[in-house]
A and B are shown apart, each in its own frame.
Chain A
Amino acid sequence: MTETHADALSGLESPEEAAYELRAAEASIWTGSRLLISIFAFTFAALAFAYFYLRSSNSADLWRPNGVTAPTATGAAIMAFTLAVTGLQYYGVRRLRSGTILDWEVAGWTAVLAGLIALGLQCWELTDVPFTPGSSGYASVFTGWAVLNIALLLGGLYWAETLLARHVRLRRAHVEEGGEKSGLLVARVTRINIVSCAHFWMFIGLIAVFFWVFFYVVAG
């Protein structure tokens, strides 16, 4: 036997209750995204702790022997592409708020493309570093950063891509059902999610800048 929420709740949910739960669902996405940022903030704080701890300990005088640094140009490119995603997300949200959905779509897909490039560069950089992972404290922390950054970019891109994919499918379904291609649907269904995703990308952008400074500018 199969039972569904629809079966169970049909006739039980008044319009006021439905509206109450809708508000709760929207607020949950808002709070959830902030809590998600906190979770990742602690994650990267642990990485930053490792960076400064090993740098100040300088065990066996092997924090960063001979001033070796990861490829600066690649690192800068990764940061630039990550910031591009952040900027495009921000721009898309602004355009969406002003009712221009097409701009949001174009900015969103461009952002996904830029994010994929950043991700690819980060993976490639790992194969192109002028040190072995265990050769120094710096090399170790850099390897850890690369792995965590790949995970972060993957997570952020997944969120951005799924929002766009969902939008495309909903719009198509809406048109097939005879509805107009209006801004109402996407605004109602995913606006708060889109804004939250943009905030998450701002956090990713900040992380990218901080660790770019740590690893390429003031590596010590």
Chain B
Amino acid sequence: MTVEIAPPTSGVGEVRPPTRGPASRRPAWFGQHVGTALVGMVAGYALGHWIGNVIASGYAHVQGSGENDVAIVLGMVLGVLGWLAGIGALNYPLAKLVGRDSVPRETTGWTRYFRYNLTHKVVGMQYLIMVLVFLFTGGLLAMAIRTELLSPTSHIYGPGTYISIVSEHGTVMMMMASSMVLGPLGNYLVPLMIGSRRMAFPRVEAFSFWCFTAGYFVILSALPLGGFPTGWTGYAPLQTEATAGMDSYLVGFLVVGTGMVLAGFNIVVTIIHYRAPGMTWGRMPIFVWSILVTGVLLATATPTLAVACLFGILDRTAQTAFYVNEHGGSSYLWENLFWFFGHPEVYIMALPGFGIVGEMLPVFTRKPLFAYKVGAAGMVGVGLLSYFVWQHHLFQSGINPDMRPLYMLTTELISIPTGFIFLVGLGTLYKAKMRFEVPMLFCLALYFNFLIGGITGVFLSDVPVDVTVHGGFFVLSHFHYTIMGGLVFAFFGAVYYWTPKITGKTLNQRLGKIHFWMMFVFFNLTFFPLFLVGLFDQPRRVFEYAKNLQTLNDVASVSAFLLGSSFLVFVANFVWSLWIDPKRAPANPWGSNGLEWQTASPPAWYNFERIPVVLADPYHYSEPTEVPVADLAPTNFADAAAAANGGGA
């Protein structure tokens, strides 16, 4: 991989101008799009599988097993390359080898969403749809899990199928959650919020999305390949012993991980260098702070996961022994590498949620964000400390007991900056006259849910409690309260909040409130009983349980179905409000000071007619002398920029 080489031939840089030509007047279905990508993927898989068979079908371990992991992995890898080639992601890297610039077809209209497009707003929308596809796929698998758990003794699936469904659900959801905010909202909104017309590396951004999409197909291929039995954590030695579905897990995480690294890379550089004049660190929206820290975590923690997956792939194909104790390897190696990524991953999922609510609370309370700098510092603190806690996931694995107090301490330490972020929200809410619009309801729900998830997390960081409840539904409930109760609620709040900006249309508020209350009530009715189930020792990932726990499980299952149906309300609202009965949104429906609201809705693709000069942070609500956030048409850009930067924080 290499960084985008952006030859700024005349100033603006790399997305600079493809010229109109005969090729760009071809019909939309010509050229490269999702259809050609699918063809490329199928052809690549077939070719890779054939090569793998040629290479490895004679190997003793392949002949004896009836399964050729070399063929499967090569098929997947070439399938992903075929997908990327088919969509056009490799045109530019290949053209550069001979010193040429490829000229991207930049289309308008709906077909651009099915193409390799370099506009950050298009990529954001592509991410949004793909994240929802991931979410609904994982949600359907969750329904399947809860259906099985309706009865302790009557079964719909066998135990192997059940664990495969659980594993697929967890992995799909984790992949989705990693990109849930940074992908759609980060890519779409960050340039608007920092006053930029573009991303630093648009091709890297687009490439990250198409990796994410390819990863969806790869991880989904686990089901026809027999699934994998490890849960989303992929623990060795089960990983090494598993059948072909495990290849999908390892290759899928490698591909999605590559996309995550690239997405983080691009957004970090963009935030550092493409802020408008006057957008000092002290004026940057709190959402952008959260995305910055998330981007750094994605770029630096995910390579460890990629390496761990590579080792797993080598164990299963080249017969190395990284995770095989009997041959000089160690299954603990996977667990350490995985959780070195896995715990920052928790904050990759949590921080953007806090960024979203931090952005929305001042708008709906008409108050400045309380202790803004503490909130930003809290996010940076969480990001730093997240690298030093991973071994708390191994308290019960047989690690050296002397290590436990250290990691218990670091885990409890991280609750301090997390508490900062939480208190920033509560301080903003204090004595506020709130407007209970739909986005605000989701914000408040986050604080309710995360309080439960966070406090149970403090318990779990203590070794004695962790030893007691480890491996059961208590832990499961804890992380669903933090990730779903935090991130997913914030995400939907953000969708309601920024849809008028993105589409120029408003989502129906009545349907939005129905969606919210169904989601909030049934989320809690699903997962709170599971704390009790966990305290009564029901283990995770087991499809049978004690008969006396059936009532609690049934409450959870029925609530889960209703929780799932709340998403149908959202889909109905989305379709109704945007296509069937669209209503033009006011220019700034929530009365936000945010820079993104100071331009047209939906924004023109150059975002701002002139590069704005930022004059203040966007949180000066209800102050006697409200300062304009930015000068959107500076008469003398250079002077205004110098003045704004000089007077910055």
Which positions in A face B, CB cutoff 8 Å?
A: 1-9, 12-14, 16-22, 24-29, 31-33, 35-36, 38-40, 42-43, 45-47, 49-50, 53-54, 57-60, 62-63, 65, 132-141, 143-144, 147-148, 155-156, 158-159, 161-163, 165-170, 189-190, 193, 196
Query: Which 5 residue pairs spanning A and B have beta carbons closest together?
Result: A6-B17, A62-B328, A18-B11, A137-B328, A169-B99
CA distance A137 to B210 in the complex (A): 36
Inter-chain contacts of B96 with A (CB < 8 A): 162, 165-166
A18 to B16, CA, bound (A): 12
Q: Is B274 an interface residue (CB 8 A)?
A: yes
| A162 nearest CB neighbor, chain B only | B96
For B314-343 the 0/1 string (1 means CB < 8 A from A) is 110011111011111110110011001000
Does A59 lie within 8 Å of B330, measured CB to CB?
Answer: yes
Contact with A143, one of B18, B272, B299, B314 (Cβ below 8 angstroms): B314
A31 pairs with B269, CB closer than 8 A: yes
Contacts of A53 in B (CB 8 A): 330, 332-333, 336
B200 in the interface (beta carbon within 8 A): yes
Given contacts A5-B606, A14-B637, A162-B96, is CB(A22)–CB(B13) below 8 Å? Answer: yes
B431 proximity list for chain A (CB < 8 A): none
Is B620 positioned at the interface, with any CB of A under 8 Å from its CB?
A: no
Evaluate contact between A136 and B303: CB separation under 8 angstroms.
no
Question: Can you list 25 A-B contacts with CB-CB less than 8 angstroms, sorted by A residue number?
Answer: A4-B106, A5-B15, A17-B637, A20-B641, A24-B273, A25-B200, A27-B272, A29-B4, A29-B6, A31-B269, A32-B4, A33-B3, A36-B2, A39-B261, A46-B304, A49-B340, A54-B328, A59-B326, A140-B328, A141-B322, A165-B97, A166-B5, A166-B7, A166-B96, A189-B7
Given contacts A3-B108, A54-B333, contact A25 B637 (CB under 8 A): no
Interface string of B451-491 (1 = CB under 8 A from A): 00000000000000000000000000000000000000000
Say whether B398 faces chain A, with CB atoms less than 8 Å apart.
no
Q: Which of B81-120 contact A (CB under 8 A)?
A: 93, 96-100, 105-109
Contacting pair A29 B327 (CB below 8 A): no
**In whole Å, how far is B572's beta carbon from the nearest beta carbon of chain A?**
32
DSSP class of A's interface residues: helix, strand, loop or mixed? helix
User: How far apart are the CA atoms of A162 and B97 in the complex, in Å?
Assistant: 5
- Choose from B3, B19, B108, B637 the contact partner of A1 (Cβ within 8 Å): B108
Residues A36 and B265 in contact, CB atoms below 8 Å apart: yes
In the complex, are the beta carbons of A133 and B611 less than 8 A apart? no
Q: Indicate if the CB atoms of A148 and B307 lie closer than 8 Å.
A: yes
Total A-B pairs, Cβ < 8 A: 262
Residues of B within 8 A of A13 (CB): 11-12
With contacts A39-B265, A162-B5 taken as known, whether A3 is within 8 angstroms of B330 at the C-beta atoms is no
Q: Are A50 and B333 in contact (CB under 8 A)?
A: yes
User: How many Å from the CB of B361 to the closest CB on chain A?
Assistant: 31
Please give, as numbers and ranges, the residues of chain A lying within 8 Å of B522 by CB-CB distance.
none
Q: Told that A21-B198, A159-B5 touch, could you supply 14 new A-B pairs with CB distance under 8 A?
A: A2-B105, A5-B18, A9-B197, A25-B14, A31-B269, A33-B3, A42-B301, A53-B330, A53-B333, A54-B329, A132-B319, A137-B321, A140-B322, A162-B99
Whether the Cβ atoms of B327 and A32 lie closer than 8 Å is no
Interface residues of B (CB under 8 A from A): 1-20, 24-25, 93, 96-100, 105-109, 197-198, 200-201, 261, 265, 268-270, 272-274, 277, 299-301, 303-304, 306-308, 310-311, 314-315, 318-322, 324-330, 332-333, 336-337, 340, 604-606, 609-611, 637-638, 641
User: Which B residues touch A139, using CB under 8 A?
Assistant: 320-321, 328
Contact of B201 among A6, A32, A158 (CB under 8 A): A32
- Inter-chain CA distance A48–B439, complex, in Å, is 46
| Residues A20 and B277 in contact, CB atoms below 8 Å apart | yes
Contacts of B19 in A (CB 8 A): 4, 6
A99 to B333, CA, bound (A): 50
* Chain A residues whose CB sits within 8 angstroms of the CB of B3 once the complex forms: 29, 32-33, 36, 159, 196
Residues of chain A within 8 A (CB-CB) of B336 are 49, 53
- B269 A35 Cβ-Cβ under 8 A: yes
Residues of A within 8 A of B14 (CB): 25
Nearest-neighbor residue (CB-CB) of A152 within chain B? B1
- B322 to chain A: closest residue by CB: A140
With beta carbons under 8 angstroms apart, the residue of B17, B303, B327 that contacts A42 is: B303
A170 CB, min distance to chain B CBs, angstroms: 7
Instruction: Contacts A36-B265, A137-B321, A166-B99 given; indicate if A9 touches B606 (C-beta within 8 A).
Output: yes
Closest residue of B by beta carbon distance from A164 = B99
Residues of chain A within 8 A of B4, CB atoms compared: 29, 32
CB-defined contacts of B13 to chain A, threshold 8 Å: 21-22, 24-25
- Give B331 Cβ to nearest chain A Cβ, in Å: 9
B12 contacts A60, C-beta separation under 8 Å: no
* Closest-CB distance, A147 to chain B (whole angstroms): 7
Q: In the assembled complex, which residues on chain A have CB atoms less than 8 Å from the CB atom of B107?
A: 1-2
- B314–A144 touching, CB < 8 Å: yes
Q: How far, in angstroms, from A209 to B318 measured CA to CA in the complex? A: 26
Check A2 against B106 for contact (C-beta < 8 Å). yes
| B1 / chain A contacts, CB cutoff of 8 Å | 36, 155
- For A137, give the chain B residue with the smallest CB separation: B328
A16 partner residues in chain B, CB cutoff 8 A:
637-638, 641
Distance in angstroms between the alpha carbons of A140 and B315 in the assembled complex: 8
User: Which chain B residues lie closer than 8 Å to A165 at the CB level?
Assistant: 96-99
| In contact, B319 and A134 (Cβ under 8 angstroms) | yes
